[in-house]
Structure 1
Amino acid sequence: MRRLTKKKALNLVKELDAFPKIPDSYVESTASGGTVSLIAFTFMAILAFLEFFVYRDTWMKYEYEVDKDFTSKLRINVDITVAMKCQYIGADVLDLAETMVASDGLEYEPVNFELSPQQRIWQLTLWHIQERLRVEHSLQDVLFKSAIKIAPPSPIKNDDRNFHVTVGKSIPHPRGHAHLAALVSHDSFNFSHRINHLSFGEMIPGIISTLDGTEKVSTESNHMFQYFITIVPTKLNTYKITADTHLYSVTERERVINHAAGSHGVSGIFMKYDISSLMIRVTEQHMPLWQFLVRLCGIVGGIFSTTGMLHGMVGFLVDLICCRFQMGIYRNPKETSLAVQENNETSALIENHNEH
């Protein structure tokens, strides 16, 4: 009884077989079929190899949300070269009330404004990278992946809105601050400058900011350069680092100060920035293993199906071009027997007619 039940179960399983086996005696191997199989296996190997590189690659996912952090402090990383002597200029950071909040932390270092040949090559390379970043935004993802983390500088309050470099050293007073510009001759004014680096948040080497490499050369002594910056808080999370940084966009404006012509103002370099209420979360992602296996199965199955259909279509066209249908190879056997019978009957009638 158990054997009968087991046999019925096996027969039921065999009936559910979706992959019936064809005996080898019914299969005919051809040179064209072997060629198509070889081409199919080659394509499978190539596509599987390329798919493996896609699986190894990562991409950056950008998510936007409202910035709910109102207590953190903003770090400013600035490296700027001005074509004036250090004792003639002063730089400081102001808050919304125009109160000086950071001046002593800035370091002044005498350098030559003119670049050496090697420095000029690096400057041109940086300009080229900035141009490509404006066109090909995917390069920014490459910079994010190659970034590393170092210790950040001292933070500054989050409500600071102004960083400027102008004539004379700054002095604080109860109602704000002032610069001792009267002690500097107008002939020594030259606010040609080069922004080597300007970023906000944690210092992350490898990331090129928007104003990095910017160079402005002025032929006038009284010249005002303005940069209106919009800062977007950014949380960067890659397989190498996790950091809180800030991306920014900038609008530039410059004009010559000429009080006689009605162009009033103060000569210098002014950077006014505002912090956006939105936050960007940048996360490096990787293709999961199950998706990679599914894509491989799709490649193998798709190539098998496509090459099979193409082989059948090509064979049909070859047979059609060679007129094999007219040679009776694919003619129906019933039609062939009827045609032979009609020919025999016609021949018999002709012979009888000749005898009479």
Structure 2
Amino acid sequence: MSRISPLSRVASVFTTPLAPEDFLSLVNPLSSSRQLRGVVTAVVPETPDSATIHFRPGRGWRAHEAGQYARIGVEIDGVRQWRSYSLTTAGGEDPAITVTANGAVSEALVRHTRVGDVLFLAPPQGDFVLPEHPRPLLMLTAGSGLTPVMSMVRTLVRRRSDADLVLVHSSRSLEDALFREELSALSAEHPGLTVVHWVTSERGRLDLTSTADLEATVPDWRGRAAYVCGPAAMLDAATDLWRDQQVPGQLVVERFAPVLLEGAGGEGGLVTFETSDKEIEVDGSTSLLEAGEEAGVIMPSGCRMGICHSCVTPLLAGQVRDLRTGEVHGDEGQLIQTCVSAAAGPVHLEI
């Protein structure tokens, strides 16, 4: 049970109905215990369309493990929008996120974030973390899938002189590759780190539908614990390959989007947003979150993949289909996750 100091009790007499901390937050935006926040301390361009944003979190933040992510909230046109981003600094260090301008929130972060800006935060989470015991590792990444792995690389090379890590990163060109110069310097300094840049404009996509590319690039790949992060097609191919080669227990996958069943939305229908007084006709593969945003409704959201539950909204009438499992469900008043639910006929939502 938390205790209120005598000084706080006295101060609250003069600040009611607000709490003393509400006034303190006007001076120090990190002082609030109601909403975790962070102040931007540096913005470092990585490529023409990406930047690393360093921030100093306030109280309530806990040190992250290498590979974890955090939900970040920003104000856009007076509306607080939440998205999940991997933390790219070494585990336990002051946090940073590396963002590629893809989508409204990411675009705003890359183009408009300045030192001194305040970010809204949720504590680090996620199970895409380093193994408990040392062993040879293989990291397969593409595009922004490198961001959680970069935290792992930075952590390993600084803490373990015997680290044995092969990183194969896929990008359209070397200019598009995140952290290229730093990775080159780290691999030159640490013999146990091997970095392979797979440039798709020259070699085509890394083919994981067979073992040929892996055998040629990392001959001992079967003996390494593998981590893969990138586009859904890459993750699906890796999952199938490791299973077919009977080494599934050595593969850890990080997805930035939910696994959806093909055509899992069924027939779709007319979605009515009661409080907003708006409606839209959608097909069965469009999530209710996307439907609301297309209709101009201010929709709460976070991870957008069915993990954080920030998007839950009461269902007033109708039924929805879970885009991950195909299950149809719906009871009046039931809280549904709009990011992974689609209309299974007419739907009314309390938003």
TM-score range, shorter chain: under 0.3
Larger-Rg structure: 1
Greater relative contact order (Cα 8 A, min sep 6): structure 1 or 2?
1
More helix by share: 1
**Alignment TM-score, normalising by the size of structure 1:** 0.16
